[in-house]
Every structure is written in C-alpha cells, then in structure tokens.
Amino acid sequence: MHGPFNRMGRRKPMNEINVVPFIDVMLVLLVIFMITAPMLTQGVKVDLPQVSSEPIEDTESDERIIVSVDKDGQYFITLSDDTTAVALDELGQRVKVLLERHPGAPVLVRGDRNVAYGQIVTLMSTLQTSGVANVGLISEPPPGDA
C-alpha cells in the first residue's frame, strides 16, 4: 500500500508545510493596513469656518496677535504696533503670555509666499501646543479685486 499510511495504519509524518493559512492571514493584514494607514497621518487641527470668508474689519480698538515668518525664516510677534523678533523655541511661551495679558485677542499668522510649507506647519503646531485654540491666516487679495 502506497501513500501516507504504512502497513500498521499509522500516518507518516509530512515534511511539507501548508502555507495557505499564512497567505490568508497576510492578505487580511495587508487589507487592514491599507485601510488604516491614511487615518494615521498627523496634522495640525484647524477650525475652519463653514461660510465664505470676508475680510477682517480693520479697527484700531481690536488687539490682534500677529505671528509673522519672513522670507529668511525668521519669526516675529506683533501686538498693536510693537513688533519683536523671536526664536521658534520662545515663540510658544511669548504667545501664551500675550494671551494671558490680552484674553480673547485673535492670533493670526502671516507667512511670506517664499517660506516653505513645513515652516508654517511647524509654527501652527507650536501655537497649538501653547494653547491657541483658533489660528487665522492673513493673505492679500489678488490684484484687481476691490
């Protein structure tokens, strides 16, 4: 009698591994990772309004904290007409102190068009960790718009 049984009716040990269950598990894991990978991206949480934006009224009574990044990558904080150059490590603490002195003051970010996107994201992340809930972005209207 030939096959996996010998004369006594006992099975001979197989020297092959069945890999089909391993392939099934790997395919299931692949599908799970493909679905969850896009959800793992990190970002800065920004509350965007759900209405069309209007220009900010330019009144002298409103105090705004404006954080600027120039084309050389240097950071500045402006409150009223007082502009101060600041390093990124100190920026979060300075904004936190200004918000304690002027509660309710909006925080706006002004970035030069030649600044790398990564620097603006780093700035917004720093503002978020220092307790700024809402950040506004300053832009200029395109030429020809009234």
Show Cβ contacts of residue 131 under 8 Å, excluding neighbours closer than 6 positions. Answer: 96, 99
117-129 vs 88-101: helix axis angle to the nearest 10?
A: 50
Each domain of the chain, given as residue ranges in start order, spans: 65-137
Return the CATH number of the domain spanning residue range 65-137: 3.30.420.270
pLDDT of amino acid 17: 83
Does residue 119 register a pLDDT over 50? Answer: yes
Does residue 42 register a pLDDT over 70? Answer: no
Write the DSSP assignment of 21-56 as a string of letters.
HHHHHHHHHHHHHHHHGGGG---------SS---PP
Give percent of the chain with pLDDT exceeding 90.
9
* Residue closest to 107 by CA, chosen among 42, 27, 47, 54: 47
